[in-house]
Amino acid sequence: MRLICLLIGYGFGCIQTAYITGKAVKKVDVRDYGSGSAGMTNVIRVVGKRAGLVVFICDVLKAIAAFVVCSLIFRGGGSFFLAGFPLEPGLYAGLGVLLGHNFPFFLKFKGGKGIASSLGVMLVLDWRAALAVYVIGFCVIAVSRYVSLGSLIMVLLFPLILVGLSHHPEIVVITLIMAAMAFFLHRGNIQRLLSGTERKLVLSGNRAGPPDC
């Protein structure tokens, strides 16, 4: 079951909305510009804010869709299912989505960094923990204007909150793996945060644009 859910999730994750948007709107590969990442913030830089918003929504929804599909196939549960069903089918699908999004085989394993899809997985896994980390993370972004910092705080806090909510250790371990993947892919951002050279979120009036996440 776990392997099948990973594979199904990987298929959903390989729907590279940032890459598709760049090709459809400007006929460019967004990975050739900006940060080189196929994610929302790089699409904002290269294509525009509306396109970036579309990519963000689609990346969240593909994670939710994979979670729901595998939960239905394997009688799993989640935030919007009846209580008492296991979370593993949807969670492994969510992990697969992140693997497909971050490492798509048809793009030479060069994709995005998975934050938007991670937010989708959080929501359908446990909406209580998700809302808590959303509030904290977006407050950090609003105050610091570092999207990468807020993103990393969210993926790190989520498994810790799951521990407080008494989730099964396997659930916590998988979410920790998701967080570790995000930290690995953001290692450049972390170095820039520590050196004070990370770009801040700019909504208007500055061509620097938002930082990479």
HSE at residue 56, side-chain half, CA atoms within 13 A, is 13
Please give the share of the chain, as a percent, with pLDDT higher than 90: 80
Domain tally, the chain: 1
Structure tokens at 92: 């492994």
Please report whether residue 191 resides in a domain.
yes
Give the per-residue pLDDT at 37: 86
Please report whether residue 31 resides in a domain.
yes
Q: What are the pLDDT digits (tens) for 149-195? A: 999 999 999 999 999 999 999 999 999 999 999 999 999 999 999 99
Question: What residue type is assigned to position 47 of the chain?
Answer: V
Give the per-residue pLDDT at 205: 46
Please report whether residue 96 resides in a domain.
yes
Mean pLDDT, rounded, of the chain: 91
Give the per-residue pLDDT at 75: 94
What distance in Å separates the CA atoms of residue 57 and residue 59, rounded to the nearest whole number? 5
Please report whether residue 167 resides in a domain.
yes
The DSSP line for 85-138 is S-SHHHHHHHHHHHHHHHS-GGGTT-----HHHHHHHHHHH-HHHHHHHHHHHH
The pTM (predicted TM-score) of the whole model is: 0.91
Structure tokens at 101: 């999004």
Give the per-residue pLDDT at 74: 96
Please report whether residue 211 resides in a domain.
no
Please report whether residue 81 resides in a domain.
yes
Q: For residue 205, is it left (φ>0), alpha (ψ between -120 and 50) or beta? A: left
pLDDT(148) > 70 = yes
Cβ–Cβ < 8 Å for 121, 67: yes
Please report whether residue 8 resides in a domain.
yes
Q: What are the pLDDT digits (tens) for 72-114? A: 999 999 999 988 899 999 999 999 999 999 999 999 999 999 9
pLDDT(10) > 90 = yes
Which domain covers residue 164, as residue numbers? 2-195
Please report whether residue 49 resides in a domain.
yes
